[in-house]
């Protein structure tokens, strides 16, 4: 068998779930995270020669995530920076350490008009996510994001004037239900940005722009409006990328039952579904944004 050189490669640990409880105050704080770790560097010997001497076990990555959470997590991004710093220290052959942290948000259950001190339920609005990357000898960089923010409007959206051919059966409409689940990631000007605050404020801007864009001609049209709104409202954000499934709500044909349907009953089709992706960036900014990252 010939020995061929390795191309780009990396390895890590996925699906590390951990929760941290802060009991220092009467109102407990509960942080629920999923962590992804990737290490990139010189691992040719492991691939080509079977030499594992430069490989930090992925089980060690899992253990590191738990050990560094022992003293609490004041800031998810700060915890991520501590992780990438540790992985670079523990792995001399690593050139780049990358950690993605996705928060599963919880909120206190309200009892008799007040938040309960230690009882929680899942919070709405999607899952904040951050990716912390550090190259050896450099400062860490951070991108933020939101995953799974479901949103729907019952009017104010159209889709017409589109390209047609012999296989096109979709009717044009000037009024439809538009639904999507927003996945968005954004880049910032530097490490001193308020990443925790942006995890709240940027999604709020996105959803407000979605709600206010009643002249929407398509999901693409609204994507650009949402991205522009974010860059206008948040000076530290330099680019934002969206992945927006078009979650179809199809007006149900009730004629077989002798009934009309004046925009009341819809078939919710979970698949197939359209997927709209795009990046809105400031002038002069050319983000390197992988579609699958």
pLDDT band at 78 (very low <50, low <70, confident <90, very high): very high
Q: Which of 13, 153, 213, 234 is catalytic?
A: 13
Whether the pLDDT of residue 292 is over 60: the answer is no
Does some domain include residue 293? no
Active site residue 153: no
**Is the domain of 156 the same as that of 167?**
yes
User: Residue ranges for the binding site for urate?
Assistant: 58-59, 159, 176, 219-220, 246
Burial of 264 (0-12, 13-18, 19+ CB in 10 A): exposed
Q: Which two tokens stand for residue 155?
A: 């009017």
Do 192 and 177 lie in one domain? The reply is yes
Distance of CA 9 to the CA centre of its chain: 23
**How many angstroms separate the CA atoms of 86 and 63, rounded?**
12
User: Is 116 among the domain residues?
Assistant: yes
The 3-state secondary structure of 48-97 reads: HHCCCCCCCCHHHHHHHHHHCCCCCCCCHHHHHHHHHHHHHHHCCCEEEE
The count of structural domains within the chain is: 2
Binding-site annotation: residue ranges for O2: 246
Element (H, E) at 210: helix 195-212
Which of 138, 157, 184 is where one domain is finished? 138
> What DSSP designation does 282 have?
-
Residues annotated within the binding site for 5-hydroxyisourate are 159, 176, 219-220, 246
The pLDDT of residue 289 is above 70: no
So what's the pLDDT on residue 213? 98
**279 falls within a domain:** yes
Is 224 a known active-site residue?
no
What mean pLDDT, rounded, does the chain reach?
95
CA–CA separation, 178 and 216 (whole Å): 10
Domain boundary among the residues 73, 104, 138 is at 138
Domain match, 75 and 146 both: no
- The two three-digit tokens of residue 230, written as one number: 């974010």
pLDDT digits (tens, 9 = 90+) for 107-161: 999 999 999 999 999 999 999 999 999 999 999 999 999 999 999 999 999 999 9
Q: Kindly state whether residues 167 and 268 are assigned to the same domain.
A: yes
- Give residue 5's pLDDT: 86
Q: Within 10 Å of residue 189's Cβ, how many Cβ atoms? A: 12
> Does residue 283 share a domain with residue 146?
yes
pLDDT, mean of residues 88-94: 96
Residue 264 lies in a domain: yes
Residues 167 and 261 placed together within one structural domain of the fold: yes
Specify whether 126 is located in the same domain as 25: yes
Confidence band, pLDDT 50/70/90 cuts, at residue 3:
confident
Confidence of residue 291 (pLDDT cuts 50, 70, 90): low
- pLDDT, one tens digit per residue, over 6-34 is 899 999 999 999 999 999 999 999 999 99
Residue (of 192, 73, 201, 207) closest to 128 by Cα position: 201
- With a cut of 70, say whether residue 290 has pLDDT above it: no
Domain contains 250:
yes
Say if residue 18 is in the same domain as residue 62.
yes
Structural domain including 223 reads: 140-287
- Among 111, 138, 165, the domain-final residue is 138
- The active-site residue out of 195, 213, 234, 248 is 248
Give me 208's structure tokens: 């407000």
> Which of 28, 31, 58, 234 is the catalytic position?
58
pLDDT above 70 for 293: no
Domain co-membership, 88 together with 144 = no
The enclosing domain of 189 has a CATH number of 3.10.270.10
Q: Examine residue 51 and state whether it is found in any structural domain, yes or no.
A: yes
Euclidean distance between CA atoms 15 and 218, whole angstroms = 35
Q: What is the residue whose two structure tokens read 């912390």? A: 132
Asked if residues 146 and 201 have their Cβ atoms less than 8 Å apart, the reply is no
How high is the pLDDT of residue 4? 86
Looking at the structure, tell me whether residues 102 and 133 fall in a common domain. Answer: yes
**Residue 1 falls within a domain, yes or no?**
no
pLDDT band at residue 286 using 50, 70 and 90 as cut-offs: confident
172 & 199 share domain:
yes
Inter-residue contact 184 to 146 (CB < 8 Å): yes
Neighbours of 194 (CB within 10 A): 14
Annotated binding site: 58-59, 159, 176, 219-220, 246
Whether 15 is in a domain gets the answer: yes
Are 252 and 203 in a shared domain?
yes
Question: How do residues 155-207 score in pLDDT, each as one tens digit?
Answer: 999 999 999 999 999 999 999 999 999 999 999 977 678 999 999 999 999 99
Strands (DSSP E) along 104-202, which ranges? 106-111, 114-122, 127-135, 141-153, 178-188
Q: What is the token pair recorded at 83?
A: 């992780």
The tens digit of pLDDT for each residue in 200-235 reads 999 999 999 999 999 999 999 999 999 999 999 999
Beta-bridged to residue 218, according to DSSP, are none
């Amino acid at each position: 068998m010939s020995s061929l050189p390795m191309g780009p490669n990396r390895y890590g640990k996925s699906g590390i779930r951990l929760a941290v409880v802060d009991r220092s105050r009467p109102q407990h704080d509960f942080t629920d995270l999923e962590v992804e770790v990737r290490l990139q560097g010189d691992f040719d010997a492991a691939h080509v020669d079977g030499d594992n001497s430069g490989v930090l076990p992925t089980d060690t990555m899992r253990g590191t995530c738990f050990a560094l959470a022992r003293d609490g997590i004041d800031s998810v991004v700060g915890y991520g920076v501590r992780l990438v710093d540790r992985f670079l220290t523990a792995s001399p052959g690593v050139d780049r350490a990358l950690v993605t942290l996705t928060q599963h948000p919880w909120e206190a259950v309200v009892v008799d008009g007040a938040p309960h001190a230690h009882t929680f339920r899942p919070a709405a609005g999607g899952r904040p996510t951050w990716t912390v990357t550090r190259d050896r000898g450099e400062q860490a960089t951070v991108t933020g994001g939101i995953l799974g923010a479901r949103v729907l409007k019952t009017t104010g959206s159209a889709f017409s004037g589109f390209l047609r051919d012999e296989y096109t059966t979709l009717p044009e409409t000037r009024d439809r239900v538009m639904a999507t689940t927003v996945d968005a990631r954004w880049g910032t000007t530097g490490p001193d940005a308020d990443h925790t605050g942006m995890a709240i404020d940027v999604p709020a801007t996105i959803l407000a722009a979605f709600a206010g864009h009643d002249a929407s001609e398509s999901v693409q049209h609204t994507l650009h409006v949402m991205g522009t709104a974010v860059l206008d409202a948040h000076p530290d954000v330099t680019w934002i990328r969206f992945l927006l499934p078009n979650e179809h709500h199809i007006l149900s044909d009730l004629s077989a039952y002798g009934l009309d349907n004046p925009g009341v009953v819809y078939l919710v089709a979970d698949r197939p579904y359209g997927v709209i992706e795009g990046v809105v960036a400031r002038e002069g900014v050319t983000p390197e944004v992988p579609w699958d990252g």
